[in-house]
Every structure is written in structure tokens, then in C-alpha cells.
Structure 1
Amino acid sequence: MTDTVTAWDTYSQQRPERRRTNAAGATTWFNWTQYADHGPGAELLEAPADGRVLDLGCGKGGNAAHLAALGHRAVGVDVSPKQLAAARERWGQTTGLELHQADAVAFLREDREGFAAVYSVYGAVWFSDPARLLPAIRERLHPGGRLVFSQRPPVEGCYGCQASYIPRGSDEDPLVVKRWDYEPDGWERVLKEHDFTDVSAEVLAAPPGPRTVGTLIVSASA
């Protein structure tokens, strides 16, 4: 299995920078899906105006920067130095934004303040063993706090731990990381097993166009 830092550093080089403005002309915005200007926004977190909110697998920081712009205390965590370098270059002066290089579980175990909400957009919740990550999240969420995450829906019949491939050059083997895939009712079951309540999981359809794969969005309360 590929070293996770190497894998996500490689992935970072393949991802384009977030646009300077979205279709509405905003300079910061929240996007749960793989499609531009599609789907719900930060309201899914139900976080208080000045609440501390954690992005697990924050990547280049666009979603966390938007939460900071809204007045939240936004904390972004990622294992990739290259992802975080890009985030700091663009968003490093944003008031209310903290960025940390760390493993998601290790960061949660070391934190002592806790969070009003924890979220992951195609991030660490998808690529971490739920048996390790979910108890750590549950421990750090304030009572009633929300966990919300999004990822690609599973391939039919391919559930639990799966291999995910990050391509490299034409003459190199792809890098391999683990991911965890479940259908909506599977995620509902897993979250309830870890003492989350008010669990909801559904697939948001893709916007009109040639691409048809939707986005699985899951939410739950501590």
C-alpha cells in the first residue's frame, strides 16, 4: 500500500486550483459535490455563527476558507504538505482559518477543545477506517454537533474497504490507497453502531449534462 503522504501529494499535483469566483461571482463558497455550482452549501453543518468547525482532508482549503469568511473558526487538516502549501498560499491570511498537517485520527485524539461540526468532502472520512475515525469524531463533537461528509456513491456490490488508484505517469504504476464505500443504508447502520443519531444518507443526483454519477451525502448528530 502506498504511503499516504506520497499518494495525496501526487493527487494534489493533478487537481486544478479552485476558480477565483463561482457562477454567482462569490470569491468563497462551499461545494459538497464533484460538480461546479451544484448542490447545497454550508447550511448542512448547522454550526453556530462563531462555532469551531473541522475539515478532515481539507485539500487546498477552499471550503474551510469559506467557513472562516462566514465567521466560523475553521480548522483544516490534511496529510499532504503540497495540498496545504497550496491552501496557505491562497488562503493563509484568512482570519479565523487554521491549517494543520496531520493524520485525521491523530489530530482528533490530540485536540481538547472539540467542534460544533466536523465535515469531509471527498476527504478523510472516505479514506479512513470508520472503526478508528468515527469514535474519534464522536468524542470531539460537542453535544448535538453535526458530522457531514460526501463521497462518490459505491459501485454496486463493492462495499467496505476498497482499493482506490491515483494515476501517475504513463510508464509508472498507479498509487494505491484504501477507501471505504457503503450504500446509504450501510452508512446509516455504521454511524448508528458508533452512537451517532439523526442519521441521514442519500445520493444527490448529478446536474443535467453528460455525467451521471451523483454524490452521496451523509449527515449525523453527536
Structure 2
Amino acid sequence: MPDRFFWNWGQDSGPGAEALGDVTGRCVGDLGAGTARHAAHLAVHHQPAHITAVDASPAQHAMASDLYGHLAPRLCLTRCGVLPHLRTSAHTYDVLYSVFGAIGFTEPHELLPAAATALRPGGRLTFSTLAHHLGGAPAHPDVQHTDMSAKTPDGEAAHMHRWVLQEQVWRQLLDETGFTRISTEVLHGQPGRAPSTRSW
């Protein structure tokens, strides 16, 4: 069971679950949860009323089920695309978060409004994403994706879109969607080992 919660790329330093605020008794959603390690940590150590870990990957969902299925019903592992899940979950969540998850891999003009709708009044969205591209190239100055090479579960070549955007671009997107009290922090990676992270 993960005993720490990190936002940075290296998963080894910086702020932890406190960035989410007090989630005790709250309804929480992990967007693009992967193997649900962060959601499992919250379920065990921070006592939310309910936490839903959403991921569309069959392989990731299967691994999460093997590792953390025993944490039900507090932890719900949901195999689903983030957008359809959020669009059918109006005013469900007190807190939504993404640790290098769906926020970076979903068109922000679609995801951010869906997240805003799924949050209850006064709810919080917190996420970490790349501050620059993995190869060192700067983040985009406008809303455009980068094509990334990937592989299907069967090992076939595929492509994914990733949104690596400059701070002012993310800030404008969040503001236009209606989010308030927007703040950001850059978590610097170890030189030569990990990229910098931008946490919102």
C-alpha cells in the first residue's frame, strides 16, 4: 500500500496529499488513475467518504483491481473514459485530481468544463502536468497537442496526444471555464533525471 502521495514526475519529493485540502468525508475522483496507487493511498490514509479512480485502459484497470480491489466500497475502480464519466456525474465530487493523468491527455476545452460540471459548489480541481516536454522542448504557447509514440496492450505502435502548455495558457483555460483562486507551483526535477512538473 503506498504510504506517500507525490505530485512530481519522480514521485519522490515535494508536496503531498495536503494539496487536495482535507478530504475526510468528501467525495473524490482520480482522473486517469492508472493503477490507482494515489487513490488507494487516499482511501486508506485520509478517510474520504468515497473515492472513484477512473481510467479507460483495460490493462491498468485489471492491475488496479488486483492490487486494490479489496478497498471497495470506499475505493471504486471505474473502467471508463474520463469525459463520459464526468459528463454523467454532475455535482458529484468535492475534489477532483489528476497526477500526470487525464488532464494532460484530454483536450482541455472539453475536459475542464466537464470537470467543472462534475464538481459541487466550492469544489476543488488539483492536477500536475509537465512543465516542458520530456525531451526538454518548451511547453506550447497556445492550446495544441504533441503527438507521442505509444503501444497498444498488444504491442502495436500507436500515437497519443499530450497537452504540454505554458503556465499562462493553463491559467487562461481555467479562468475561462470559471475556476477561481487559481494557483500554480513548479516542482523542479533532478537535473538529468526527471522533468519539471507544474502543479495546479
In the superposition, the TM-score normalised over structure 1's length comes to: 0.78
Shift of 1:49: 0.7
Once structures 1 and 2 are overlaid, which stretch shifts more, 48-57 or 209-218?
Answer: 209-218
Shift of 1:61: 0.7
Q: 2:193 matched to 1:211?
A: yes
Distance, in Å, in 2 between the alignment partners of 1:74 and 1:157 is 31
Determine the structure 2 residue equivalent to 1:143.
121
Q: 2:40 matched to 1:78?
A: no
Shift of 1:38: 1.1
Determine the structure 2 residue equivalent to 1:35.
10
* 5+ long unaligned stretches in structure 1: 1-19, 21-26
Q: 2:19 matched to 1:44?
A: yes
Structure 1 residues 192 and 90, CA, compared in 2 at 3 Å: closer, same or farther? same
Instruction: State how 1:57-206 maps to structure 2 within 5 Å.
Output: 57-69=32-44, 70-72=46-48, 73-95=50-72, 96-112=74-90, 114-154=92-132, 155-156=137-138, 158-159=140-141, 160-168=143-151, 174-206=157-189
Q: 2:28 matched to 1:53?
A: yes
| Runs of 4+ that moved beyond 6 A | none
Structure 1 residues 116 and 47, CA, compared in 2 at 3 Å: closer, same or farther? farther
Distance, in Å, in 2 between the alignment partners of 1:108 and 1:47 is 22
| Counterpart code for 2:166 | E
Distance, in Å, in 2 between the alignment partners of 1:113 and 1:67 is 21
- Please, what is the CA RMSD of the aligned residues? 2.1
1:124-166: CA deviations, max 9, x gaps? 1111111111111111111221101111113326342223423
* 5+ long unaligned stretches in structure 2: none
Distance, in Å, in 1 between the alignment partners of 2:90 and 2:194 is 42
In the superposition, the TM-score normalised over structure 2's length comes to: 0.86
8 Å CA contact 1:185, 1:201 repeated in 2: no
Task: Work out the number of aligned pairs and report it.
Answer: 190
Structure 1 residues 88 and 205, CA, compared in 2 at 3 Å: closer, same or farther? same
| Counterpart code for 1:107 | H
